[in-house]
Amino acid sequence: MENQVPEIFNVIPHTHYVLLSTILFVIGIIGVIVRKNVIIMFMCIEIMLNAVNLMLTSTSAYYSHSGGQIMVFFTMAVAAAEVSVGLAIIVMIYKNLKTINIDAFQKLKG
């Protein structure tokens, strides 16, 4: 059985997917480091997660191996759980502190 590169990679080379996912991951890192709003930081983490998903999906399609796509499926399931728990924590912190600024979270220390 011979692995053939899918037709889409003749139109859009694999390196473009790699560059796009790298750019998205860097944007996510910068957002987490620079921003003070917890919701924005949470969204930046999701951008990083989706960058990794894009990389896994494109690479698995390029090599005609389904392992990366299966990993993306599990990653999306974990991300859904992470979002629900994370947003619940953010809502509870907002109820107590009346702010979503990350600097105000210093008050949570025991």
pLDDT digits (tens, 9 = 90+) for 25-59: 999 999 999 998 889 999 999 999 999 999 999 99
The confidence band for 93, taking pLDDT boundaries of 50, 70 and 90, is: confident
Q: What is the rounded (10 degree) CA torsion for 84, 87, 91, 96?
A: 110
In this structure, what token pair is assigned to residue 24?
Answer: 């998205």
The confidence band for 21, taking pLDDT boundaries of 50, 70 and 90, is: very high
The predicted pLDDT at position 106 comes to 76
- Whole-angstrom distance, CA of residue 67 vs CA of residue 46: 22
